[in-house]
Amino acid sequence: MIEQHKHCPICGKPIPLDERFCSPTCEELALANQKRVKKTRRMLYVLFAVFILVWLFFMLRGQLGF
């Protein structure tokens, strides 16, 4: 029977159940990927906020006297 294991989320190699990654390299890649996703998500929130502010400006400019 196959011993209990899981797979590295980066490269897919089998690893013991108590480990998250198979090597420090895969761990670094995962952290870099996580930072990139966080940065992208933050940028999307900023762009969405800017879009809403511009939309509000154009919707209310007649009422504000611009």
3-state secondary structure of 7: strand
53 belongs to a structural domain: yes
Q: Is residue 22 part of a domain?
A: yes
Residue 1 lies in a domain: no
How many domains is the chain built from? Answer: 1
pTM of the model: 0.70
- CA 51 to chain CA centroid, Å, is 21
User: What does the pLDDT read at residue 17?
Assistant: 94
State the pLDDT confidence band at 47, using cuts at 50, 70 and 90: very high
Give the pair of three-digit tokens for residue 14.
């089998």
Q: Is residue 49 part of a domain?
A: yes
Owning domain of residue 20: 6-64
Q: Are 59 and 38 in contact (CB under 8 A)?
A: no
On the question of pLDDT at 44 being above 90, the answer is: yes
33 inside domain: yes
14: part of which helix (H) or strand (E)? strand 14-15
What pLDDT score does 65 carry? 67
